[in-house]
Amino acid sequence: MGKVSMDYLIIVIPIIGLVVNVCVQLLSFRCIRSVALLKSVYLGFTIGYICLLTMVFYWCVSSRNDYFYIVTNSVIYTSLGYCYFNFICLGQTGRRIRILDELSNESNGLTLDALLERYNARDVIDNRINRLLNNGQIICRQGKYFIGKPMVLNMSKLILMLKLLIQGKKSEFDR
C-alpha cells in the first residue's frame, strides 16, 4: 500500500472504531435482553477500542511512529466515543429534549402551566433519584438519602471545579 493511502487509512481508523462501537452498542442493546443501556455503551466502546488497537498494530507495526499513532488514535477514538455517549444521554435524560418532545406532538402548542402538568420539577427529581438509586450512587434508609458509591459525587466535584474555573461561579443562578 502506498504511503499516501496508508496515511489516510491511519486517519480513518478512529472513525472505523467509532462505527464498530455504535454497531455493537445498538446490536447488543436491541438483541441481548440482559444488556442495559449503560452496559451496551461500555461494551460498544470496549470492542471498538479493541478493533482500533488491532488495526493500528496491524498497519503501523513497521512504522517508526507506532506510539504516536497509538496515542493519538486512542485519544481521537475516546473523544468520539465520549461524544456518542453524550448524544445517548442527552436523548434519554436531557430536560430540553423532554420539553421539545412534549411540544412536538402538539400542533397548537401548550401553555406553560399545561407543559408543567406533563413535565415538572417533581418528575425531574423522581427520575434522577431513581437513576441514582438504581446505579447505587445513593442509598435510601428510613426515607432519607445517603451517598452510596462515590463515582457520581467525584464527577460532580470535578464539574463544580470546572464551573469555577471557566465561569467563576458554582451555579448558573449565582451572580
Partner 1 sequence: MYLHVCFFYVSVVLVYIVTYPAIEVDSPSLVIIMSVAHARADGLAKDKLYTLLTNDVLVKPRVDDLIFEDMLTLDGDRLRITKKGSMFIRIFVMYRKIMNLNQSNG
Tell which positions 51-90 bind partner 1, by CB under 8 A: 65, 69, 72, 75-76, 79-80, 82-83, 86-87, 90
User: How far apart, in whole angstroms, are the C-alpha atoms of residue 109 and residue 3?
Assistant: 58
Nearest approach, Cβ of 26 to partner 1 (angstroms)? Answer: 7
Q: Is 36 in the site for partner 1 (CB under 8 A)?
A: no
Tell which positions 111-140 bind partner 1, by CB under 8 A: 111-112, 115-116, 119-125, 127-129, 131-132, 137-138
Nearer to partner 1, 50 or 129 (CB): 129
Q: Is 39 in the site for partner 1 (CB under 8 A)?
A: no
Determine the angle formed by the axes of helices 66-93 and 3-31, rounding to 10 degrees: 30
Nearer to partner 1, 47 or 72 (CB): 72
| Span near partner 1 by CB under 8 A; candidates 3-11, 41-49, 53-61 | 3-11
Torsion-angle region of 168 (φ positive above 0: left; ψ -120 to 50: alpha; else: beta): left
162 φ/ψ angles, rounded to the nearest 5 degrees: -65, -40
Q: Is 32 in the site for partner 1 (CB under 8 A)?
A: no
| Span near partner 1 by CB under 8 A; candidates 44-52, 55-63, 150-158 | 150-158
Residues 13, 74: contact at Cβ < 8 Å? Answer: no
User: How far apart, in whole angstroms, are the C-alpha atoms of residue 57 and residue 76?
Assistant: 16
Q: Of these, 58, 96, 168, 175, which contacts partner 1 (CB under 8 A)?
A: 96
Number of residues that bind partner 1 (CB under 8 A): 75
5 φ/ψ angles, rounded to the nearest 5 degrees: -65, -30
Q: What is the DSSP-derived secondary structure letter of residue 137? A: S
- Which cell goes with 13? 481508523
Nearer to partner 1, 58 or 122 (CB): 122
- Which cell goes with 131? 437513576
Nearest approach, Cβ of 82 to partner 1 (angstroms)? Answer: 6
Among 49, 41, 136, CA closest to 92: 41
Nearer to partner 1, 21 or 137 (CB): 137
